[in-house]
């Protein structure tokens, strides 16, 4: 499947545009920093993984053979490349959540945004839950923060600053009429 064949709901077109733009930048960085060979390896692995996910049995074999014959240094570079890609996509998704929230409040600031805590409480109330029922439910909740100290997830301050600049640039592309609430 090619990019142009993927269909998104209209509300996610802006996310698609951001992901495509960031993907192009990641590709430029890969070519600049790793050369055309690394870029080609990444693209082949990416398309084979997509085909595998879609059930193509040849892609399963292709991907398996490609990975088995890979030198450790090349595998490291590919891991970094895909990590960079996923960080860019995650950043685009965070900005998209901001965009969607602003759009929602521009359209209907009276009702709580669907999927949020105020919306969930309103749904419980409409289903007949009393304040005592909700308080009991909240008392039974167990929330446990999870801290992951995996070294691949730590980031240098310079990387965090660069990610912040990218986020600011994406936010700068938002419709200026969609102001924060």
> Per residue in 26-35, pLDDT tens?
999 999 999 9
Residue 57 DSSP SS3: helix
- Tell me what pLDDT residue 178 has: 61
Residue 161 pLDDT greater than 70, yes or no: yes
- Tell me what pLDDT residue 103 has: 79
Work out the percent of the chain whose per-residue pLDDT is above 70. Answer: 86
- Tell me what pLDDT residue 132 has: 93
Tell me if 48 sits within 8 A of 62, measured CB to CB: yes
- Tell me what pLDDT residue 166 has: 84
pLDDT category at 39 given cuts 50, 70, 90 is very high
Q: What is the per-residue pLDDT across 1-27, written as a single tens digit (0 to 9) for each?
A: 455 566 667 878 888 888 888 889 899
pLDDT category at 149 given cuts 50, 70, 90 is low
In terms of DSSP H, where are the helices of 54-156? 57-68, 72-107, 117-126, 131-140
- Tell me what pLDDT residue 41 has: 92
Residue 164 DSSP SS3: helix
- Tell me what pLDDT residue 109 has: 66
Residue 124: closest CA among 134, 132, 115: 134
- As a whole number, mean pLDDT of residues 52-80 equals 89
Distance between CA 163 and CA 167 in Å, rounded? 6
pLDDT category at 181 given cuts 50, 70, 90 is low
Please tell me the pTM assigned to this model. Answer: 0.66
pLDDT category at 154 given cuts 50, 70, 90 is low
- As a whole number, mean pLDDT of residues 111-133 equals 87
Backbone angles phi, psi at 178, to 5 degrees: -90, 75
């Amino acid at each position: 499947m090619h990019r142009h064949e993927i269909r998104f709901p209209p509300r996610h077109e802006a996310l698609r545009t951001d992901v495509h733009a960031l993907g192009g930048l990641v590709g430029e960085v890969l070519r600049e920093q790793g050369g055309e060979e690394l870029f080609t390896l990444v693209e082949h692995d990416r398309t084979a993984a997509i085909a595998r996910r879609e059930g193509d049995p040849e892609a399963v074999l292709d991907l398996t053979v490609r990975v088995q014959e890979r030198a450790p240094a090349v595998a490291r570079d590919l891991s970094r490349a895909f990590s960079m890609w996923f960080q860019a996509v995650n950043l685009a998704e965070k900005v998209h959540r901001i965009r969607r929230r602003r759009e929602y409040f521009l359209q209907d600031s009276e009702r709580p945004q669907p999927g949020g805590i105020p919306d969930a409480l309103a749904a419980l109330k409409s289903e007949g839950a009393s304040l005592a029922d909700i308080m009991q439910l909240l008392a039974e909740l167990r929330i446990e923060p999870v801290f992951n100290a995996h070294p691949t997830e730590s980031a240098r301050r310079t990387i965090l600053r660069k990610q912040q600049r990218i986020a600011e640039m994406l936010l700068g592309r938002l419709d200026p009429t969609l102001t924060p609430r």
